[in-house]
Amino acid sequence: MTKGIQFINDYYNANPESMKAAIKTLVLLSQESGGSSWAILGKMHELGSIEISAHEAIVKYCIDLGVDHLVSVSTDLYKLAGDQKSAKHMLLHNCSDADAVLQLVDNFSVGDVVLLKASRSEKFEDLAQAVNLRWNGEQL
């Protein structure tokens, strides 16, 4: 836990099943803490013909489980099927780069749980470090 926020850093491997498992853990931990759940997700690579449908299925899974914030990083594959109303209470943030994600850190609150997950080639370890530093009031 870092200054009242729990970070889940899982950016070595990402496929539909590991994404779902991590998101389920995120939601359970945020329910325990009483804070908001933030799923900061990058692209799942090497999915071939199911690439689009797999990413869309993750959005639906996030909605169904009650994720509060889905943050899409450097990909437009995490799309809503329909408009924002179909997301119920979930807010979808499309961030083109790490700087856009860092702007969202100011919206974190004590008790929140933050998942950072993507395929290894997305280099989320750099993003995780930057997010942690920003939350702690530091800079790279």
Q: What is the pLDDT of residues 108-130, one digit of tens each?
A: 999 999 999 999 999 999 999 99
Residue 107, Cα to own-chain centre: how many angstroms? Answer: 14
Query: In this predicted structure, what is the pLDDT of residue 84?
Result: 55
Gap between the Cα atoms of 71 and 137, Å rounded: 21
pLDDT tens, position by position, 46-92: 999 999 999 999 999 999 999 999 999 988 888 765 555 556 788 88
Gap between the Cα atoms of 87 and 11, Å rounded: 25
Query: In this predicted structure, what is the pLDDT of residue 87?
Result: 62
pLDDT tens, position by position, 7-33: 999 988 899 999 999 999 999 999 999
Instruction: Report all structural domains of the chain as residue ranges with CATH numbers, in order of start.
Output: 6-135 (3.90.190.20)
DSSP state, residue 49? G
Residue 44 phi/psi, 5° resolution?
-95, 120
Question: With the CA atoms of 83, 90, 119 and 23 taken in that order, what torsion angle do they form, in degrees rounded to the nearest 10?
Answer: -140
Residue located via tokens 């329910």: 31
Q: Could you give the strand order of the β-sheet that contains 6-10, starting from the edge strand earlier in sequence?
A: 6-10, 113-117, 37-41, 69-73, 91-95
Q: Does 2 score more than 90 pLDDT?
A: no
User: Nearest to residue 134, comparing CAs of 35, 2, 20?
Assistant: 2
pTM for this entry: 0.92
User: Nearest to residue 64, comparing CAs of 93, 32, 39, 47?
Assistant: 39
